[in-house]
Amino acid sequence: MRTVEWSPQGIRLIDQRQLPQKVEITVCRTVADVAAAIRTMQVRGAPAIGACAAYGMALGAQLSAEASSTTLLAVLEEHAEVLAATRPTAVNLTWALARVKKAAQAAAVLGADAIRSAALAEAEAIAEADVRANRSIGAHGAPLIADGDSILTHCNAGGLACVEFGTALGVIRAAHSEEKTIHVLVDETRPFLQGARLTAWELSRLGIPHTLITDNMAGHFMQRGNVQKVIVGADRIAANGDVANKIGTYSLAVLARHHGIPFYVAAPTSTVDLNIETGRDIPIEERSADEVRRIGGNVIAPADTPAAHPAFDVTPHRLVTAFVTETGVLAAPYGPVLSKAVASAQRMQPITGEQPSRLSATPRERVEV
């Protein structure tokens, strides 16, 4: 199944907190469930939380009995506020909410049921576009990988972080499917262990050779000549190309520059925030210090030890060798190329509110609760 998908019962998603021990599907039946799933990281990764929030809006519209367009739009506005407050760094979240709100507003003249249909159609369009974007990122990025490369990645930018396929891991998958002999070094990614729990799990299922390392081993392996490329995902890319991604990414970029190793960022254009000039303006999520004082629920520090937990850091654009987006591989100067890529991706999008073929978003298909 996809990481997140619509079903008549509600929004189905893989509960990523349970991996790799078990694959558990959870169903969000209310907007509050969706917000909790994002906040507690049952679903995580920038594109996945964007799609999930979009489906959350569709769910909220379906569950509301409002007959008037104006009132239903107001209800959706409240849902958008709740969903937007879940996690601050990944711009895909607010980007997806804005898209669904816009589609709903455009349909309002036709009545409340039209809003419901439009919200669901837009959420499906966002999910489908993410899948297409990921496949294109893979196709554009695979030529960057040479036969025999050992590639280091951080966090999880695989199918689990998106609707399916993945961004940074999408490039690796695409290179592997071209039958290149590659090896992946997987940073465990403290404190939430997305690398150890999720990326290693995905690579193992895909049969891609890999080795798990702790985050502090990266420099050692680079120094020994065991890393030819670094590829990571992104949560938000500022207009100048500064990149917010999982905490630890910046250190990797500095290490890669020191060792002359290319450092690639693979992300869909939905992760580019042209409203933010530089990385200084990107809000960095602060998560609970308990996630640092514990590993997998086990206490590893005195309970009263002060601990810090910024969940993301910002890599300055000058450390990025190139961006791999659905529009192609982008080299500096990033200011103009990123805005051109966003514009070209927007032209490739289906018209807002257009019904995707695998969905009939009629009021008859409202969720069964």
Cα within 13 Å of Cα(273), Cβ side: 28
118 vs 198, beta carbon nearer ligand MRU: 198
SS3 content of the chain, % helix, strand, coil (to 5): 45, 15, 35
Are the CB atoms for 267 and 249 separated by under 8 Å?
A: no
Provide the pairing of β-strand 236-238 with 243-246: antiparallel
User: With CB under 6 A as the contact rule, which of the stretches 135-143, 156-164, 293-301, 337-345 interacts with ligand MRU?
Assistant: 156-164
Least separation, in Å, of the C-beta of 93 and ligand MRU?
Answer: 10
Task: Give the CB-nearest residue to ligand MRU.
Answer: 233
* Residue at token pair 């254009």: 269
Distance CA 272, CA 270 (A): 6
- Exactly one of 161, 163, 256, 265 binds ligand MRU (CB under 6 A); which one? 161
Q: Per CB under 6 A, does 45 bind ligand MRU?
A: yes
Q: Is 179 left (phi over 0), alpha (psi -120 to 50) or beta?
A: left
* Helices and strands in the chain, H and E counts: 12, 16
Q: Which of 113, 130, 187, 235 is catalytic?
A: 235
Instruction: Provide the 3-class DSSP secondary structure of residue 76.
Output: helix
Least separation, in Å, of the C-beta of 142 and ligand MRU?
Answer: 17
φ, ψ for residue 7, nearest 5 deg = -145, 165
- Exactly one of 152, 276, 311, 337 binds ligand MRU (CB under 6 A); which one? 311
- Exactly one of 13, 31, 44, 60 binds ligand MRU (CB under 6 A); which one? 44
- Exactly one of 5, 122, 130, 235 binds ligand MRU (CB under 6 A); which one? 235
Count residues binding ligand MRU (CB under 6 A).
Answer: 17
- Exactly one of 4, 46, 96, 112 binds ligand MRU (CB under 6 A); which one? 46
Q: Per CB under 6 A, does 326 bind ligand MRU?
A: no
- Exactly one of 76, 155, 231, 345 binds ligand MRU (CB under 6 A); which one? 155
Which amino acid, 274? Answer: L
Distance CA 243, CA 298 (A): 32
Q: What is the sign, positive or negative, of the torsion defined by CA atoms of 220, 226, 232, 237?
A: positive
Q: Per CB under 6 A, does 3 bind ligand MRU?
A: no
Least separation, in Å, of the C-beta of 270 and ligand MRU?
Answer: 10
Residue 33 falls in the annotated catalytic set: no
Q: Per CB under 6 A, does 315 bind ligand MRU?
A: no
User: Which residues in 60-119 contact ligand MRU (CB under 6 A)?
Assistant: 90
145 vs 157, beta carbon nearer ligand MRU: 157
Q: How many Cβ atoms from other residues are within 10 Å of residue 292's Cβ?
A: 18
Which amino acid, 170? Answer: G
Residues identified as active-site: 235
The contact set with ligand MRU (CB under 6 A) reads: 44-47, 90, 155, 157, 161-162, 167, 194, 233-235, 245-246, 311
